[in-house]
Structure 1
Amino acid sequence: MLMNRKLVVGDAERALIYRNRRIERVLGPGVHRVRALFDEVDIALHNIAVCDYTGKDVDVLVDRLGDRLSEHFVLADLGAQEVGLVLKNGRVEDVLAPGTRRLYWKGLVAVEVRSISLGAGLELDEAIAKRLRQLGLLDKFAATVAVPEEHLGLLFVDGKLSRALSAGTYAFWNVFRNVVSEVVDLRVQSVEVSGQELLTRDKVSLRVNLAASYRVDDPVIARTKVSKVADVLYRELQFGLRKAVSARTLDELLGDKAALDAEIFGHAHGQVRALGIEVLGVGVKDLILPGEMKEILNSVVQAEKSAQANVIRRREEANATRSLLNTAKLIEESPVLMRLKELEALEKVTEKIDKLTVFGGLDGVLKQLVTLKS
């Protein structure tokens, strides 16, 4: 018995006809008659306003429809080294992982699938990265790197250094590959070595604080040969400090700190230069002595200063005595000079007396004054 089933398909619909559970054809908009004679016929209506085909039989459709597939579908069939960008009405709307096979309905939405080979490069175009960020898909499929000014980015792909990145923002496909980035600071940095308990050559215990400035000169070497730059430099500064202090006495350390700084700098600079690290300067901040040693040094300094003061005092007394002797000789040889000295003495005396009574004239006063002094 011949039986026809009436089927109405709208503009936003497509119908898949299955006969005896096998795909037969796809029907577009319109009124259709589907013949059924002792056959099991199933009809699946799909709303193509949502252009993604959601059925589970994509491979079956591709195989059974063959050349007719392109009449109703856009096929995305990506290789193992490809990712796909799904454009709907000219705008990127989705990303397909490598090895994906998917169908999209033709009709209401213009769908295009662009395949991108990962072998040609992993970096995303800036416009595509911006769009994927808007969709919230960028972190799912890509690794992003932001490199500030005075920094350098290093990109590692599957554990191998791939390239260096200057200042800027980058995105790299991170699908089926391990893409990792590191940012190296190229600015001048500082490291401090504090509280180092050391012995001088003359067995004096003291504590030393040291500061150094450095910068990463070769980021690639520094990253590949050194785990932590600051730790390596700290250790070399320690070694250089111990070596320099143990070779000097306390007096030498206190008397010439510049030589101590220079020796530590030379040691550290020579050790880390080959690791891509440049030491710019080293300086000893503090030399801290124990309490009893401070008292001893203070006593020594006090004794030295007292001795210096005594020497100066004796020297000035000798100079004063010598000057008096010279003056006495001049007065002895010159009566006029003697007379002037007498007048000066009289002037000094009269300045301190409110009332003075003179007997015998000026000669009498001078004679009595000389007699009193003698």
Structure 2
Amino acid sequence: MFWTRRVVIGDGERGLVYRNRQFERVLAPGVHRMFDPLHRVEVRTYDISAPVYGGHDADALIARLGGQLDEVFVYADIGADEVGLVFRHGKLEDVLTPGARRLYWRGLVDVAVERVSLADGLAVRPDVLRRLRQLGLLSKVAVVVDVPAEAAGLVFIDGSLLETLGPGAYAFWNFQKNVVADVVDLRVQSVEVSGQELLTRDRVSLRVNLAASVRVTDPVAARTKVAKSSDHLYRELQYGLRKVVATRTLDELLGDKASLDADIFAYVRGQVAGLGVEVLGVGVKDVILPGEMKTILNEVVQAEKAAQANVIRRREEANATRSLLNTAKLIEDSPVLMRLKELEALEKVTEKIDTLTVFGGLDGVLKQLVTLK
């Protein structure tokens, strides 16, 4: 008919009828005829394969449909202290923020909305965490905390410590409250204090490099009792090094390095004892002297070594003289020993002579060359 309008709604569609721009009814799939002689009826068709209702009059629809709303839509009305989890065909697909209101078409897609109360805690369930990470939504709605092995995670809610986390993956809803996460490394770490310009007790200027090994034993204390434990430890190592070096002369520093390390270690360990940080060891790596002081020390060392060599030489000469005196006393008391020494002397003489002429036989040689008492 001329005044009748024909409207076709497909299986994956729904139609909303508006007369004079006011909602009238919902059209199910099929062929519909409407009497509209003055062209005052508008039919808006929606594809319900994307179940989220995209119109701007959701509140008007909720008010006009009343008790029939549940037949056409899934109505998600999330409270101010709730988070909505939207499931499609049993799989989590979206998150609704606190206070959100949304309509989902019924029929083609099975949509369910689960409300999660924030009053029961801000921790995200492990299954929800994994799914949101797959969808790429996790960082948008939650604070993510990945705690590696040999580390501890600290979670603060509005500035107050909520809990300490062991190794693993965690997430906390980032709604209404300020959530801050901090990961504390519990492994042994090295701290270097380099190029410290210091004065010894005898006013010698030098530079010292120091190394220390530390680890965090109480992550809560290390995070809450000092603003930044690493910076505080570095300053205490500086102070300890200056304090100990100032009480020693240059000779004491160079001669007893182990005592220097022990005194610095004792000072620093006492200063950080209540901060959740344990100092495992402290060692002075390098003591660097200015050029003129190196020259002076080299001269001193050379003089000391020369004096030591002179003392050793004199001592050996005295020992040799003492040995000769003892030998002479033995020879004086023993004629036979004297005779043996004479023969040894004769043997040495003959080794250096090519030809030897003997008169009177061997006895003549012995008697004429060597005379016995």
TM normalised by structure 1 equals: 0.91
* Contact residue 76 and residue 113 of structure 1 kept, 8 A: yes
Correspondence for 2:184:
184
CA change 1:292–1:39 in 2 (3 A) is closer
Map 1:195-234 onto structure 2 (within 5 A).
195-234=195-234
Q: Please give the secondary structure, in 1, of the residue aligned with 2:301.
A: helix
Correspondence for 2:12:
12
Q: Please give the secondary structure, in 1, of the residue aligned with 2:358.
A: coil
- Is the aligned partner of 1:143 residue 2:143? yes
Map 1:293-332 onto structure 2 (within 5 A).
293-332=293-332
- Is the aligned partner of 1:335 residue 2:335? yes
Q: Is there any run of 5+ residues in structure 2 with no aligned partner, and where? A: none
Deviation track 1:194-231 (CA, whole Å, cap 9, x = no partner) reads 22222211222222111111111211111122233222
Q: What letter matches 1:236 in structure 2?
A: E
Deviation track 1:18-77 (CA, whole Å, cap 9, x = no partner) reads 233322222322344545688943322222222111111111111111111111110011
Q: Please give the secondary structure, in 2, of the residue aligned with 1:282.
A: strand
Measure the CA separation in 1 of the matches of 2:343 and 2:312. 34
Q: Aligned-pair distance for 1:368?
A: 4.8
Q: Which stretch shifts more, 104-113 or 354-363? A: 354-363
Map 1:352-367 onto structure 2 (within 5 A).
352-367=352-367
Map 1:1-374 onto structure 2 (within 5 A).
5-34=5-34, 40-370=40-370
CA change 1:59–1:369 in 2 (3 A) is farther
* Contact residue 20 and residue 39 of structure 1 kept, 8 A: no
* Contact residue 192 and residue 211 of structure 1 kept, 8 A: yes
Q: Aligned-pair distance for 1:109?
A: 0.9
Deviation track 1:95-117 (CA, whole Å, cap 9, x = no partner) reads 11111111111111111111111
Aligned length: 370
Q: Aligned-pair distance for 1:178?
A: 2.7
Measure the CA separation in 2 of the matches of 1:199 and 1:181. 44
Q: What letter matches 2:42 in structure 1?
A: D
* Contact residue 332 and residue 338 of structure 1 kept, 8 A: yes
* Contact residue 265 and residue 281 of structure 1 kept, 8 A: yes
Measure the CA separation in 1 of the matches of 2:129 and 2:355. 110
Measure the CA separation in 2 of the matches of 1:202 and 1:339. 67
Q: Which stretch shifts more, 174-183 or 269-278? A: 174-183
Q: Which stretch shifts more, 97-106 or 175-184? A: 175-184
Q: Which stretch shifts more, 43-52 or 55-64? A: 43-52
Q: Aligned-pair distance for 1:259?
A: 1.3
Measure the CA separation in 1 of the matches of 2:189 and 2:326. 69
Deviation track 1:153-200 (CA, whole Å, cap 9, x = no partner) reads 112223332221111112222234332222111111111222222221
CA change 1:363–1:227 in 2 (3 A) is farther
* Contact residue 155 and residue 182 of structure 1 kept, 8 A: yes
Q: Please give the secondary structure, in 1, of the residue aligned with 2:284.
A: strand
Q: Aligned-pair distance for 1:147?
A: 1.2
CA change 1:176–1:369 in 2 (3 A) is farther
Q: Please give the secondary structure, in 1, of the residue aligned with 2:55.
A: coil
Measure the CA separation in 1 of the matches of 2:218 and 2:328. 82
Q: What letter matches 2:75 in structure 1?
A: L
Measure the CA separation in 2 of the matches of 1:123 and 1:368. 120
CA change 1:204–1:7 in 2 (3 A) is closer
Q: Aligned-pair distance for 1:297?
A: 2.2
Q: What letter matches 2:245 in structure 1?
A: V
Measure the CA separation in 1 of the matches of 2:189 and 2:149. 15
Across the aligned residues of Structure 1 and Structure 2, the Cα RMSD in angstroms comes to 2.2
Q: What letter matches 1:270 in structure 2?
A: G
Measure the CA separation in 2 of the matches of 1:264 and 1:299. 31
CA change 1:10–1:299 in 2 (3 A) is closer
* Contact residue 155 and residue 181 of structure 1 kept, 8 A: yes
Measure the CA separation in 2 of the matches of 1:304 and 1:44. 107
Measure the CA separation in 1 of the matches of 2:228 and 2:363. 99
Q: What letter matches 1:30 in structure 2?
A: G
Measure the CA separation in 2 of the matches of 1:370 and 1:207. 74
Deviation track 1:250-295 (CA, whole Å, cap 9, x = no partner) reads 2222221111111111111111111211111111112222222222
Q: Please give the secondary structure, in 2, of the residue aligned with 1:274.
A: coil
Q: What letter matches 2:341 in structure 1?
A: K
Measure the CA separation in 2 of the matches of 1:13 and 1:312. 112
Q: Which stretch shifts more, 113-122 or 290-299? A: 290-299
Q: Is there any run of 5+ residues in structure 1 with no aligned partner, and where? A: none
CA change 1:29–1:341 in 2 (3 A) is same
* Contact residue 19 and residue 39 of structure 1 kept, 8 A: no
Q: Aligned-pair distance for 1:132?
A: 1.8
Q: Which stretch shifts more, 235-244 or 360-369? A: 360-369
Q: Aligned-pair distance for 1:4?
A: 5.7
